[in-house]
Structure 1
Amino acid sequence: MADGVPTDLRQALDGAARLPRLLIACDYDGTLAPIVSNPADARPLPASAAAVEELAALPATTVALISGRALGVLKELSGVSGRVHLVGSHGAEFDTGFLSPIDERAEALLVEIKQTLDEIAAEYAGVTTELKPASVALHVRNASTDDGEAAMHRANEAAARWDAQVTDGKAVKEFAVIQTDKGQAVDILRDQHDASAVLFLGDDVTDEKAFRRMRDGDIGVKVGPGDTAAAYRVDEPRDVAEVLEYLLAGRRRAHS
């Protein structure tokens, strides 16, 4: 049974299962892994992890995780095998390096951003920062509403003097010293693997860039509430596991 998979999505997955070459790309936090208070504790649901590995082992099937996490952190937390492609830093960090180089000016800006956000976070309980290779994130998930809003407001004021890309997520704001775009990452993977179509699943604002890159025949699946450019929606990460298992069964039948 795939009770968490809507009927129209099942029909789309049935078609995707029969395609010659398929790319399956997933966000990590909030999609494969439930959101948790401590980001370091985020692990994929066992059913999703198993389905990802089994899909990646099928012929003519490429699986990728595209996350805002730093690539090394994504590899450690996800625990996936080398069959699964990993893209970190919101689509900017591949295993071959960054799509855009991080020069000395960008490195100096990264230090300045981290110092400023650390100073802001120190004044509000529950507000933390996270340094990544090309960005700094300000997390307010564990702060009170008032403290979170105040910290975000001060970060926005500081950002006015930075040449940084600002990305808003769920209880997080990220400041990158290079351009990041999950949609671009999807297109690169699509071309690299000559995919007939793409299935992309994601829950956050940053995933909308990927949803807006979906073409005819692609399947974009929004996880959870909120406005979206995705054509389909499921409620939570447990439903993502059902989507992947449903596709796995269909893809196996198509290649048997």
Structure 2
Amino acid sequence: MSDVPSELSKALEQAAEAARLLVASDFDGTLSPIVNNPADARPLPEAGRALIALAGLPETGAALISGRALSDLRLLSSMPSSVQLVGSHGAEFDSGFSHQIDAALLQRITEELCAIASGKPGVLVETKPASVALHVRNAAAADAEAALAAAWAASTSWAAQATTGKAVLEFAVISTDKGEAIDILRDQYNATAVVFFGDDVTDEKAFRRIRDGDVGVKVGSGETHAAYRVDSPNDVAVALNHLLKIRAQSADRT
């Protein structure tokens, strides 16, 4: 694994001195590498251990904020209760959803997307408690393009929030916002600084909520509102361990 880029290292070292620190991360593509079968995703051991260790330090909170359903995130991440889990792109907390779910609309979208996926090998429909996702990663290019185009056309009659991701198009029947989740967690932990890692389009809503003294880290390529960037989940593991080391040293001095 590579070293932490110098500018990011300095920013993490400054955040590590915060009176109360919140460290949050996306799951897929950030703490866990992207895999062809979503059920096979697991956090990199080095990254998972570092996040858990950070959660155990004084005046330090840790969280995963994922597009996954909360139950799936809990199963796949294997995180202890010391790490706060937030599913459904920031809308699903242990206490429930932050907004009311339109169950009838969810069923309608599920049925229409299943019809679109029918006959297109590799096009998969994933139903979550408050959204439905159309996955095309494992489909032929022509089938993927046709499925996405049909889903966009059908969505004009749905009062749903559409989110594009890496080979996925998701429709939520509630308002989802990882930025809102960051603000909720910031208040819960009374955090004076937040460090957030994310790789996908939905993570940009969290990066937009970054304040002075916070650190936003984009994983991979693409436009971003984050001030810092690393290449891969392996680099996230390195950065988390660097932050853990500095934060632990800071705790020892107090």
Q: Which runs of 5+ in 1 are unaligned?
A: none
Query: TM-score, with normalisation over the residues of structure 2?
Result: 0.98
Deviation at residue 246 of structure 1 after TM alignment: 0.1
Deviation at residue 4 of structure 1 after TM alignment: 3.8
3-state DSSP of counterpart to 1:86: strand
Residue 60 of structure 1 aligns with which residue?
59
What residue identity is the alignment partner of 2:93? F
Deviation string for 1:83-132 (max 9, x for gaps)?
A: 00000000000000000022xxx101100000000011112111000000
**C-alpha RMSD over aligned residues:** 0.8
Residue 140 of structure 1 aligns with which residue?
136
Contact 1:4-1:234 at 8 Å conserved across structures: no
Residue 24 of structure 2 aligns with which residue?
25
Report the Cα distance in structure 1 between the residues aligned to 2:181 and 2:201, rounded to whole angstroms: 16
3-state DSSP of counterpart to 2:218: strand
Deviation string for 1:146-182 (max 9, x for gaps)?
A: 2111100000000000000000011000001000000
Deviation string for 1:197-221 (max 9, x for gaps)?
A: 1100000000000001101111000
Change (3 A) 1:152 1:4: farther
Deviation string for 1:9-65 (max 9, x for gaps)?
A: 000011111111001110000000000000000000000111011000001000000
Task: Say whether 1:96 aligns with 2:92.
Answer: no
Residue 190 of structure 1 aligns with which residue?
186
Report the Cα distance in structure 1 between the residues aligned to 2:174 and 2:3, rounded to whole angstroms: 37
Report the Cα distance in structure 2 between the residues aligned to 1:43 and 1:18, rounded to whole angstroms: 30
Aligned with residue 230 of structure 1, among 208, 226, 229: 226
Query: TM-score, with normalisation over the residues of structure 1?
Result: 0.97
**Percent identity for Structure 1 against Structure 2:** 60
Report the Cα distance in structure 1 between the residues aligned to 2:100 and 2:12, rounded to whole angstroms: 37
Report the Cα distance in structure 2 between the residues aligned to 1:178 and 1:250, rounded to whole angstroms: 39
Aligned length: 252
Contact 1:21-1:61 at 8 Å conserved across structures: yes
What residue identity is the alignment partner of 2:78? G
Report the Cα distance in structure 1 between the residues aligned to 2:98 and 2:80, rounded to whole angstroms: 23
Report the Cα distance in structure 1 between the residues aligned to 2:207 and 2:144, rounded to whole angstroms: 28
3-state DSSP of counterpart to 1:183: helix
Residue 219 of structure 1 aligns with which residue?
215
Residue 124 of structure 1 aligns with which residue?
120
Q: Which runs of 5+ in 2 are unaligned?
A: none
Residue 151 of structure 1 aligns with which residue?
147
Task: Say whether 1:200 aligns with 2:196.
Answer: yes
